[in-house]
Amino acid sequence: MPISLRSRISQGIKTLIWLVVLIFILQGLIWLKLKFTSIQVKEVVGVAQESPAEEKFCGFPGEEIIYDVKLGGITLGKADFRHISRIRLGAKVANLMTFQTSLARFNDLEKIYSDARTFLPLLIERDVFIWPNQEKITENYDQDKFTLNITKLKGKNKEELLINKTGAIQNAILLPFALRLIPEIDIGWSSVIRLPTQEFVITLVSIEDAMVPAGVFKSYHFQSTPRKFEIWVSTDERRIPVKIRGTGFLGYTMVMKEYRR
């Protein structure tokens, strides 16, 4: 074989290998961006009964919000949020919700139990598939002691991690929905948010129109400091999180495609 042809073939093989490696790196980074948000449920007894005064704190059981997940102008997949019902979780009234993110070679199904009054997480179970591996993650929140116990099972390997905070611990997926509980809000409003691995301040910076595939919605526009993400929540009584954007490297955007209730 001529040397020049052999060199071209060799260079082509190297280029192909680098492209494959780059794809896996990008998928890994996207997964890390979407990850911030799961635990073994012991026993749930009965459906919670609440007074009309308490019911307004519980969100919208039966609600489903479907998002397109985008990286720039490219649609990577979709995310599906569902508020299943209100239930009793031990002594607490809890929201039972699911959030499923489906991308190429990646699927993350989360079963989320949150306090019905605050949307603070209590218990989360995650079933994560990143081709070709499967992983189960359990997150157990004690909001009285400000602790989070995380258990990860990957094959026969088990990891446990205990996180201590100085206040209530929020969950990245629940945060946009917790913002719905604020009865009245003005530009400049801010609050300290504690996620398991970081803390930041979230501020209402403007009220503006947000254009998403489901339509145009007058929305509260929140930003975090330091700049990690932005959230747009509709100003109507439903307070729908219509758009969520990560602002770091390879920042993704979730835009509402469909709303059902």
Residue pair 216/185 in contact by the 8 Å Cβ criterion: no
pLDDT digits (tens, 9 = 90+) for 232-253: 999 998 899 999 998 765 578 9
Residue whose C-alpha is closest to residue 148's, from 129, 130, 172: 172
Q: Is residue 130 part of a domain?
A: yes
Q: Is residue 247 part of a domain?
A: yes
What's residue 235's pLDDT?
94
Residue carrying structure tokens 């009285």: 144
pLDDT digits (tens, 9 = 90+) for 12-32: 444 433 333 333 333 443 333
Q: Is residue 1 part of a domain?
A: no
What's residue 250's pLDDT?
59
Eight-class DSSP state of 13 = H
Q: Is residue 119 part of a domain?
A: yes
Q: For residues 72-77, give the mean pLDDT.
A: 91
Q: Is residue 92 part of a domain?
A: yes
Residue pair 29/23 in contact by the 8 Å Cβ criterion: no
User: The domain containing residue 183 runs over which residues?
Assistant: 6-260
Q: Is residue 168 part of a domain?
A: yes
Q: For residues 77-94, give the mean pLDDT.
A: 92
CA–CA separation, 113 vs 119, rounded Å?
A: 9
CA–CA separation, 17 vs 14, rounded Å?
A: 5
* Beta bridge mates, 80: 66, 100
pLDDT digits (tens, 9 = 90+) for 169-197: 999 889 888 888 887 889 999 999 999 98
Residue whose C-alpha is closest to residue 101's, from 161, 150, 35, 18: 35
Q: How many domains does the chain have?
A: 1
Q: Is residue 144 part of a domain?
A: yes
First to last CA, the chain: 67
